[in-house]
Amino acid sequence: MKIASKLPSPDKLVIASRESALAMWQAKHIQAHLQSLYPKCDVQILGMTTTGDQILDSPLARIGGKGLFVKELETALENGSADLAVHSMKDVPMNLPTGFMLVATGDREDPRDAFVSNHFDSLADLPNGSIVGTSSLRRQSQIQARYPHLKIESLRGNVQTRLRKLDEGQYAAIILAAAGLIRLELGNRIRNFIPPTDSIPAVGQGALGIEIKASRTDLIDILAPLNHQNTQLCVEAERGFSRSLAGSCTVPLGAYATMQADIISITGFVASVDGKQMVRETVTGEAQLAEKLGKQLADKLVGMGANAILATLDGVK
């Protein structure tokens, strides 16, 4: 996070957030930064329940995708109930509705997937036929590719609900984003961090996004100090990749970018749900071309057969 320039302090800012424990942690995290930047500002949080939070008995891919977690928050921005919304970047659709913009990307927490189990140390230790819970086709495809003897079942709900279902014995193991567990001080539940070489993370995983109405240009400079440039550029590359392939939670794909000395390296994949078909590649280039690098990676995968894999997904979701 940058140090705020000597901008006039706003009198009041309202943050729209989902009401889950993790979403509220994220909103309070941004609230604390804003209060530090603008001590005279009254920073409030407007908690909301989204459609994605309400429908828990179906996989996201079947009920409309991750946009279900942001729609109500955007309505609050539209009608003026809130000034900004805080999202997990992995939940933000690749194309925002007209009239909205992402104004800042917060520093990234650990982007890896986490293996959580009460009895086993890793996916490799799970016996034949063990049930693994995940809500992600991206995770499912990568697990099935490496461990076809495991059974994948859908797992929905907030972090605490998912852990409870594991503790009740419904699953031998579950896979969650490490970032959420760490932020909720539940890192002790992680038995194993799955390296990106084995499970490429979701686009934007671990990063926070700040969304506003595009017409609220008065907020751009005020919120600029919340932006972490390296994270922003890496996430731009990842989103450029996903956008080029029309990626959403209905498509088993992932991308992970890292940055060193103004050079971005991004690895991405596209797979069939069962993991039997998969293309994967890495490209490297100048950070200032972040989004173009993502598109370049997508084009490479198309050349390797990504479109043929994507075509087979129609009707499989």
Q: Which whole-number Å values give the CA distances from 110 to 85, 196, 204, in the listed order?
A: 22, 11, 11
21-37 vs 159-167: helix crossing angle, rounded to 10: 150
First to last CA, the chain: 39
Q: Report the candidate in 243, 257, 122 with the shortest Cα–Cα distance to residue 196.
A: 257
* DSSP-assigned beta bridge partners for residue 42: 12
Active site residue 91: yes
Active-site residue, selected from the candidate residues 53, 91, 110, 113:
91
Report the distance separating Cα 125 and Cα 138, nearest Å.
Answer: 21
Contact criterion met (CB below 8 Å) for 134 and 174: yes
Strand order in the sheet with 253-260: 253-260, 263-271, 278-286
- CA 34, CA 115: separation in Å to the nearest integer? 34
Mark residue 262 as left, alpha or beta (left: phi above 0; alpha: psi -120 to 50; beta: remaining): left
Catalytic residues: 91
